[in-house]
Structure 1
Amino acid sequence: MGEPTISAQILRHVANCVELTGHSAAGLLDRIAVSRDLLEDPEGLIPLAHFLSFFEDAAALLRNPHFGLHAGRLSGSDSLGPLSFLFLSAPTLRTAFASFTRYLSTMQQAARNQFDDEGGWATFSYGVLDQSLTRRRQDAEYSISAMFSLARQFTGGEIELREVRFEHERVGDYARYRDHFGCDVFFEQDCNAFTMEGRFLDLRGRVLSSSLHPILEDHLRRKAGEALAGSYAHRVKALIAAAPLDAPPCVADTADRLGLSVPTLHRRLRAEGTGWRELLQDHRMVAASRLLRESRRSISAIALAVGYSESASFIRSFARHFGQPPHRFRNGGTGTETKSAAGLRTDGAQSG
């Protein structure tokens, strides 16, 4: 299975934000082997891992732990390629969020991207699904900040957020986050998200003509159809990753989503050198390893977060998978690790 990718055009905005500070982005681009020409290529793709690393390295270069928030605030009509234009040309804010979440996969793979409109409240959520990609805080804060910025541009600044949630621990002063979003901000949550009152969703756009929206949607619909191709293992992995960690899909539902019987799905996966249980278990274990290294949650809390009803079975499964128990892994043990978990690191964040 190939590694997940992201449109090079999305990196272009981040690189431009670096240069707005008076620093050159050339060294950072060289580090991930990306040329300026690629940033201007509408079809250019780069590994998602390289994009995440660029963001974290840029924050370190600028000595700005909140670089992602600030880059998000500067998001405009060209910051997310055609997705920005799609959002800003929608007839209403409700349509803007719905269409954006429907087509993000055309620009970025391995991302959870959801919009819920229920009970008088609306929530946009985002997250990187590949649990082996651990350098992701700047991207999470950028993505939530950028969507808030686009929504404010769309409505002429009329919307207000009720709350913001982030998966990671807090870094720096809480007031930075509170002032940026103008609402309560919570950390170490199940997803990266913001919530606002549903009444804002009927607001009409003030930036681009809504006549552009069906044209852009048709273009992205064709791209989305092309993106559905791929191995069955890759497609199963994407369906597993899209579900909550503590409520993974069952094999029957997954086979149904793919238009296959359960025996046929098992045969297809075996032909590709893997299996249903292997894919599910690897996803849960890599997620657990990330939480162990990047958070201060207890082992019992992590066991529940990745779908185990009690700690003992989680500890046994983790030890079989990584060759060492969870507490030793968290403390930097030297036991055998799977390739997918190699290189995990701790960001040294504070809890909120």
Structure 2
Amino acid sequence: MLASEGRLEPLIWSTVIRSLRIPLLEHDLDPDALMRASGIDPQDVLRTNGEVPLKAYLRFMELAAQQSGNPTLGLHLARSAGPETLGAIGFLFLSSKTILEAMQNLSHYINILQGVTFAQVVQDNEETSFVYQLLHVKDHDCRQDVEFSLMLTKRLIRIFAEGEVPISGVYFRHAPLADKRVYEKLIKAPVYFGQDYNCVSIPASCNRVRGKVLDESLSPILKTFLDREFETIQRMKTLGDQVEYVLYGNRIAPPITARKVAQHIGMSEATLYRRLKAEGVSFSDLLDARNFTLARDYLTTTRMTATEIGYLIGFADSASFSRAFSRWSGGVGPSEYRRRHTGAKETAA
């Protein structure tokens, strides 16, 4: 579940923690004790559609690493995990027609499990990358989750093609928690830190490699199930939460408008405005919160210019983006915001 800053505490689906119980037990860790120490009720995790605070989940992962004495525990947990960790999404991955379709299915459906996730597949002539990021948290707070998630993705790719698809690189935005050689030995692929994105990349030439494990006829069955699950989850949320899911998940192409969002959700623009008003929120406030959150994230964690960031978020030019950012931040422009928070200077407008 996504939340605007100051409005709701970000939550994560309890299935994420539930899927880690067996891997943690196999590493001689007590998942229930870890949950309680992190402020999570184990009974909440057992509920089919339960949710837990994102911050508590991240504490849970950090405590697990500390108690194990293993700073790369996330990688080790993923090495013993399989498609069942992601439930139907994992098996949809393995029953997809091609590895490209598998990665696209993963990025499309993963928010059913993790509503605070930003995931997408990025392609160019050389590589195809699965990009993963948790929103509303700092990089150093989610290192265990990111390392687990990318390692699991890499493992699914290997299972899908029985090793025929090489991993050209695994990229992390954060700094390493151990010697880089430890990461490369565990991941068995080139590893890079301090990057603009968390992602797993494969050669674009492998996009059409077909799966070798599950029958492709399972794919439409699993998609139908996941679509119904998604509809159930959406009905449990407020409309504001549904709008944020669309906004933060890049579900529609820029420029983002209330009309496009309303069509995506399945209602008229007038109904969207009326129902949001009844919940005490406005579409413009939700869109501003999304844009400000993403802009701050890009300014403090990437080397992109203000022009590039503005365009990526949906602004036609850097001037309009700078004016909007100053309004959101109380008078601080993008370049000044970056300087204050990173000590870096904007290289171009």
Q: Which bracket does the TM-score occupy, shorter chain normalised?
A: 0.7 to 0.9
* Greater mean alpha carbon deviation, residues 18-27 or residues 136-145: 18-27
State the TM-score, normalizing by the size of structure 1.
Answer: 0.73
For 1:275, which of 274, 279, 282 is the aligned residue? 282
- Deviation of 1:54 (Å): 1.2
In structure 2, what residue type is equivalent to 1:71?
Answer: L
1:302-341 aligned at under 5 Å gives the runs: 305=309, 309=318, 314=325, 317-319=328-330
- Tell me, yes or no, if structure 1 residue 233 matches structure 2 residue 240: yes
Residue range with higher mean Cα deviation, 65-74 or 12-21:
12-21
Q: Distance in 2 between matches of 1:223 and 1:297?
A: 35
Give the Cα separation in 2 of the matches to 1:290 and 1:115. Answer: 19
d(CA) in 2 for partners of 1:238, 1:326: 27
2:182 paired with 1:163: no
Q: 1:264 to 1:167 in 2, by over 3 A?
A: farther
**Distance in 2 of aligned mates of 1:319 and 1:117:** 37
- Deviation of the 1:149 alpha carbon: 0.6
- Deviation digits for residues 160-219 of structure 1 (CA, Å, limit 9, x no counterpart): 122233333444333333442512524241x32122123333334343444443332322
Instruction: Give identity over the alignment, percent.
Output: 26
Instruction: Give the match's secondary structure for 2:170.
Output: strand
* Alignment CA distance shift 1:303-1:51 (3 Å): farther
Give the corresponding residue for 1:103: 109
Rate the CA distance shift 1:315–1:91 in 2: closer, same or farther, 3 A. Answer: closer
CA distance in 2, matches of 1:91, 1:15: 31
Q: Which one of the candidate residues 149, 152, 163 is aligned to 1:146?
A: 152
* Aligned CA distance change for structure 1 residues 289 and 65 (closer, same or farther; 3 Å): farther
Matched residue, 1:33: 40
Is 2:174–2:193's contact at 8 Å kept on the other side of the alignment? no
8 Å Cα contact 1:14/1:55 also seen in 2: no
Residues 1:115 and 2:121 aligned together: yes
- 126-135 vs 268-277, greater mean Cα deviation: 126-135
Partner amino acid, structure 2, of 1:163: G
In structure 2, relative to structure 1, the CA distance for the partners of 1:210 and 1:169 (3 Å cut) is same
How many residues align? The count is 321
1:199 aligns with 2:210: no
Task: Tell me the secondary structure at the aligned position of residue 228 of structure 1.
Answer: helix
Seen in structure 2, the aligned counterparts of structure 1 residues 178 and 265 have a Cα distance that, compared at 3 Å, is same
Aligned to 1:337: none
CA distance in 2, matches of 1:78, 1:156: 17
How far apart in 1 are the matches of 2:153 and 2:338? 37
After TM superposition, give the deviation of residue 285 of structure 1 in Å.
4.3
Q: Which amino acid aligns with 2:211?
A: G
Counterpart-to-counterpart distance in 1, 2:305 and 2:278: 36
Report the 3-state secondary structure (helix = DSSP H, G, I; strand = E; otherwise coil) of the residue aligned with 1:202: coil
Residue in 2 that maps onto 1:57: 63
Per the alignment, do residues 92 and 159 of structure 1 end up closer, same or farther by CA in structure 2, a change over 3 Å counting? same
Secondary structure in 2 matching 1:78: helix
Partner of 2:346: none
- Counterpart contact for 1:243–1:249, Cα < 8 Å: no
CA contact (8 A) 2:140 2:174 kept: no
User: What is the identity, as a one-letter code, of the residue corresponding to 2:85?
Assistant: S
- CA-CA distance at 1:79 after TM superposition: 1.7
Q: Give the conservation status (yes or no) of the 8 Å contact 1:162–1:184.
A: no
| SS of match in other structure, 1:122 | strand
**Residue identity in the other structure for 2:146:** A
1:88 matched to 2:99: no
Residues 243 and 212 (structure 1), Cα distance of their counterparts in 2 relative to 1, 3 Å cut = closer
Q: 1:7 to 1:237 in 2, by over 3 A?
A: closer
Q: Structure 2 vs 1, CA of residues 268 and 56 (structure 1 numbering), >3 Å: closer, same or farther?
A: same
CA contact (8 A) 2:78 2:152 kept: yes
Unaligned stretches of 5+ residues in structure 2: 343-349
Q: Does 1:77 align with 2:55?
A: no
**Distance change >3 Å, CA 27–CA 301, structure 1 → 2:** farther
Aligned-residue CA RMSD (Å): 3.9
Note the C-alpha offset of 1:265.
4.1
Runs of at least 5 residues in structure 1 that lack an aligned partner in the other structure: 332-352
